[in-house]
Amino acid sequence: LPSAPLPAAPPSVDGPDGAPRFGTYQGALSHARLSGLRGRFELGPFGRLRKHKKWVYGFAATPQLACLFAVVDVGYASNAFAAAVDLERRAVLFDDTALGPPRPLTLVNEAPQQGFEVRFAFAGARFEGQRPTAQAPYSFNVRTGGGRNGLTLAFDPSNTAPPLTVVAPVDGGLVNVTQKWAGLSVEGDVTVGGARHGLRGAVGGLDFTYGYLARRTAWRWAFGVGHVDGVRAGFNCVEGFNESRDDVNENAVWLGARLLPLGRARFVYEPADVLQPWTLSTTCGTLSLRLAPFFAHQERRNLGLVRSTFLQPVGVWTGTLTVDGRSHAVTLPGVAEDQAVTW
């Protein structure tokens, strides 16, 4: 693990010269506006329409139950999805997806912290999220399946390690800003067919991302949350994205009050069958994990100019986390992801 702590997040994405403040930071940006970028990083209205990509993703779990949701704004269109699974029975409770139009029906605003807001309303689905003040939790209310399925979740960022913020250059694009946060306390419930299931004592995490991305984008990703030796914990790892320079790296572990940056992530899996086991390791030796998924949220689209394959297996990551020379056995509900998109 790196010996020096990460620098604090800057006040804005753009620096005094109008260029992005590329780097990896602890803490959050007050806003993630890209409109202050200048020179070769500045885009006109048509360029923003083509390259602008923004999303919010959330995951929460107890040892028995896990749920996930996302709202994705790609400028000219949007989509949202939510799913819940029974981890003990290895059963899918619901898995719903909706395609939608762009703003104003869809909103992912530019405030990853205080003032955060997200919404989507289309095709029988409604997603709403907000964090109005610095003292408030991130609150989400999701309804799908004509209102029969849903999530009501509050992610409490107090008494935990800070988020990780990365401002990264993008090959074939311009810049990407992401805030990852795991190990958060979560309260709420999951509604399945009108019946409610409590999520008391859950652990969760959030992903806020906003960038001017490449037309063709691909990555492998892993995320997991839970408890390690009685302490709330989580991890985030990616391969193929946000790693174009040595000083940008979104791989990290949250362990109680500690945010621990990691080395590069390496995935081994079967692309033709993502329900086969996945293995994940980091070059620093901190993580060595295996996922045996039983379900995958899948979105495969070919709309001509826009084509995507989005596969997100769900299960429980098991293996070891090595910190300060000590190895901890871990069992963390989570997801893997294989995405390749032309947008």
Q: pLDDT band at residue 33, thresholds of 50, 70 and 90? A: very high
pLDDT at 303 over 80: no
pLDDT at 7 over 80: yes
pLDDT at 61 over 90: yes
75-119 pLDDT, tens digit per residue, is 888 999 999 999 999 999 999 999 998 888 899 999 999 999 999
pLDDT at 306 over 90: no
CB–CB of 82/151 below 8 Å? yes
Determine the 3-state secondary structure of 146 from DSSP: helix
pLDDT at 3 over 60: no
Output the six-digit token pair for 31.
């806003």
The pLDDT of residue 305 is: 74
132-182 pLDDT, tens digit per residue, is 999 999 999 999 999 999 999 999 999 999 999 999 999 999 999 999 999
**Beta strands 265-268 and 278-282: pairing type?**
antiparallel
Residue of higher predicted confidence among 296 and 305? 296
Q: What is the DSSP string of 3-60?
A: SSPPPBPPSSSB-TTSSB--EEEES--S----TT--GGG---HHHHHHHEEEEEEEEE
Chain-wide mean pLDDT for the chain?
A: 95
pTM passes above 0.75: yes
Phi and psi, residue 147, nearest 5°: 95, -5
176-229 pLDDT, tens digit per residue, is 999 999 999 999 999 999 999 999 999 999 999 999 999 999 999 999 999 999
The pLDDT of residue 68 is: 98
Which residue's entry shows tokens 């020179």?
Answer: 39
pLDDT at 1 over 70: no
pLDDT at 320 over 70: yes
Residue 101, preceding peptide bond in cis (omega within 30° of 0): no
